[in-house]
Amino acid sequence: MVHKSSGEVSSRVNQRAYGADRSTLFAQQQWVPAKERSNEQWLAALHGPKKDMALADLRIVLVRGLRGALRGYTSGVESLVEDCVQEALIKILDNLDSFRGESHFTTWAYKICVRTAFAEMRRRKWRDVSLEEAILGRKASVSMPVDSLADTERITSQRMIMAAFRRFVDEELTVKQRRALLAALGGMHLEEVARRMGTNRNALYKLLHDARKRLKRRMTAEGLSPQEVLSVFS
């Protein structure tokens, strides 16, 4: 997501939404039944002379929905909702032609709004974390708890399997795949890993899918199934 200042976004949307007389518009917001509008009516309104009114209606719908979607999040949600709805409205207007009518128009609009909000939350969360830090984040080895009843044979098996798996990772994956995999496993969101690697979330997902397939094939070739290996660690 190209981050825009809330002022810039607000200005663009307000320009579109509130081009009409504000008092008339706000009066309309109280009673225009946006919920009952069909997809065709939404599209016609957003393309037509009543665009400003429809956009104002849509803003209300999106704010309500996004507040509901982010109910479990506590800090800074209200300003995030306002900013993200503004940004989402611009994306919606720019992508109206890609709406295929396979859902309600408002569901499609929510989808864009939710993704915009989560992209921003993830950007904020990882703002000060480098890719290297994410890779190192959960990489450190954790010593196994000392258990007097532990089966030493089982621990030995676990260590051997992990050593073999590390070798598979080194031998099967490219450097790029290893870095992306470790950062993602370290908890960093894919779009933030992607941003730091100069790619995008979709391409990164495909890179990681290829990495998982390579590891799965190697395990199969070595006579190991993920389920069986997991049972050794349960």
Interface with another protein, residue 5, by CB under 8 A: no
Give which of 140, 121, 26 is closest to 83, Cα–Cα.
121
Alpha-carbon span 100 to 110, nearest angstrom: 15
* Closer CB to another protein, 41 or 186, in the complex: 186
Please give the structure tokens belonging to residue 77: 């949600």
Element housing 151 (H / E): none
227 binds another protein (CB under 8 A): yes
Shortest separation between residue 49's beta carbon and another protein, angstroms: 27
Cα(172)–Cα(212) distance, rounded to whole angstroms? Answer: 10
* Residue from 110, 126, 131, 196 in contact with another protein (CB under 8 A): 110
Find the shortest distance in angstroms from Cβ 135 to another protein. 10
Query: Is residue 146 a contact point for another protein (CB under 8 A)?
Result: no
Q: Which of 25, 32, 65, 173 is the binder for another protein (CB under 8 A)? A: 65
Contact 52, 19 (CB under 8 A): yes
Residue 103 touching another protein (CB under 8 A): yes
Contacting another protein within 148-187 (CB under 8 A): 158, 162, 165-166, 169, 181-182, 185-186
Tell whether residue 140 is a contact of another protein (CB under 8 A): yes
CA distances 27 to 20, 21, 53, 94, Å, are 12, 10, 10, 27
- String of DSSP letters for 63-105: HHHHHHHTTT--TTHHHHHHHHHHHHHHHHHHTGGG--SSS-H
Residue 46 touching another protein (CB under 8 A): no
With binding defined as CB under 8 A, does residue 124 bind another protein? no
| Contact (Cβ atoms closer than 8 angstroms) between residue 197 and residue 174 | no
Provide the binding-site residues for another protein, judged by CB under 8 A.
35, 61, 64-71, 102-104, 106-108, 110-111, 113-115, 117-118, 122, 138-142, 144, 158, 162, 165-166, 169, 181-182, 185-186, 189-191, 201-203, 205-206, 209, 212-213, 215-216, 219, 225-227, 229-230, 233
